[in-house]
Structure 1
């Protein structure tokens, strides 16, 4: 049956940023497909709640409370998966994000931090995971990028640059690791997670964002989780180096931060 291609029986996955939102939904989806899951994020109480949802599917969960802004901490998750579950098949580099800032407030240090949090940590975990995946026979990596990595909007210079780098990292890593390890990414649009709490709690802002989205709605974390499962499972077995756009059809940002033009006296 075609649905069997969406199964991950007795596989092992690592999901970063798994305490809530897209990471939590992804961890549960992978478990429902048959995988045991290493859950990593900063807040242990949130991870414990997600672990309960994983075990409710009949699969095992291992919680790792850690600061994933540290590339060494991210890399260590590969060894943890092998130590606890005996193998590693899937890595979901979900952790990331950077707050918007006006251009002149985006210091080189802020830009570097955005790159490290969104790209360097993903590389650290992926690099550490590859030997374990090769031992398992094959592997799949899914990186969570963003629509802001391909469209332009004021205030998103650091975030968008980092996510664009992650998207191209995906293509380059896929070439390096083919054919044994597949590497794909998802360019996520506006999804109802804590990052959008301000919008979700303001009817005017939410309506404006939905109206500017071709599908006229804000996405759910499960929309992204379903795409992750597709890319991680045999269903996506003939894809590598691809960036799947799960964004409601966006071709431009659907929320203007209202940052003004720069002021100054022309010489």
Structure 2
């Protein structure tokens, strides 16, 4: 059956930023498909809650509460997966995010921090994971990029630049690691996670965002998790170096920060 191609039975995945939102939904989705998961983020209580959801569907979760802004710490998750579960098949580089700032308030240091948090960490984990995957059956890497990596909007210089770099890293890594490791990405639009709480709690702003989105709604974490599962599973076996746009059809930002002319 075609649905069997979406299964990850007895595979092992690492998901970063897995405490809430997209990362948590993705970890649970992979577990529902049959994978054991290493879940990592800063807050242990959040990870424990995700681990309970993983256990509820009959799979195992290994919790790593850590500051993942350090690339060396992120890289260590590959060996953690091997030690905990004996193998590694899927990596989901979900770590990322940067506060919006206008260009004149964006220092070079701030830009470099955004790049390190969104790109360097993904590179570090992918590089560490590859030998572990190649020692087994190969695997799949999925990065989480953003619509702001391909469109323009005021205030998103650091974030958009980093996410564009992450998308290109995805394409280039796919060539380097083919054919046994596939590398793909998901470029997300506005998704209802804690990062957007302040915006989405305002009915007027939320309404404007929904009207500016062709599908007339804000995305849900499971929308992204479903795309990740497709890319990580045998269902996506003939894709590598691709970035799926899971953004409700956006061709421009649906949130205007209202920044004035300089």
Shift of 1:28: 0.1
Match of 2:236 in 1: 236
Match of 1:213 in 2: 213
Distance 1:243 1:8 in 2: 21
Write out aligned runs for 1:1-267 (5 A).
1-262=1-262
Distance 2:137 2:88 in 1: 10
Shift of 1:110: 0.1
Distance 1:136 1:112 in 2: 35
Distance 1:259 1:172 in 2: 34
Distance 1:210 1:25 in 2: 22
Distance 1:3 1:25 in 2: 19
Distance 1:93 1:168 in 2: 14
Measured against aligned partners, the alpha-carbon deviations of 1:44-87 in whole angstroms (never above 9, x if no partner) come to 00000000000000000000000010000000000000000000
Shift of 1:198: 1.1
Work out the number of aligned pairs and report it.
Answer: 262
Shift of 1:260: 0.7
Distance 1:199 1:258 in 2: 13
Q: What secondary structure sits across from 1:151 in the alignment?
A: coil
Root-mean-square deviation over aligned CA pairs: 0.4
Shift of 1:138: 1.1
Measured against aligned partners, the alpha-carbon deviations of 1:141-194 in whole angstroms (never above 9, x if no partner) come to 000000000000000000000000000000000000000100000000000000
Shift of 1:224: 0.1
Distance 1:9 1:138 in 2: 15
TM-score (norm 1): 0.98
Shift of 1:136: 1.3
Distance 1:152 1:101 in 2: 14
Shift of 1:199: 1.6
TM-score (norm 2): 1.00
Instruction: Give 5+ residue unaligned stretches, structure 2.
Output: none
Runs of 4+ that moved beyond 2 A? none
Match of 1:265 in 2: none
Distance 1:200 1:190 in 2: 10
Measured against aligned partners, the alpha-carbon deviations of 1:27-50 in whole angstroms (never above 9, x if no partner) come to 000000000000000000000000
Q: What secondary structure sits across from 1:136 in the alignment?
A: coil
Measured against aligned partners, the alpha-carbon deviations of 1:102-133 in whole angstroms (never above 9, x if no partner) come to 11110000000000000000000000000110
Instruction: Give 5+ residue unaligned stretches, structure 1.
Output: 263-267
Distance 2:30 2:82 in 1: 17
Shift of 1:15: 0.1
Q: What secondary structure sits across from 2:179 in the alignment?
A: coil
Q: What secondary structure sits across from 2:135 in the alignment?
A: helix
Shift of 1:16: 0.1
Distance 1:63 1:105 in 2: 37
Shift of 1:200: 1.4
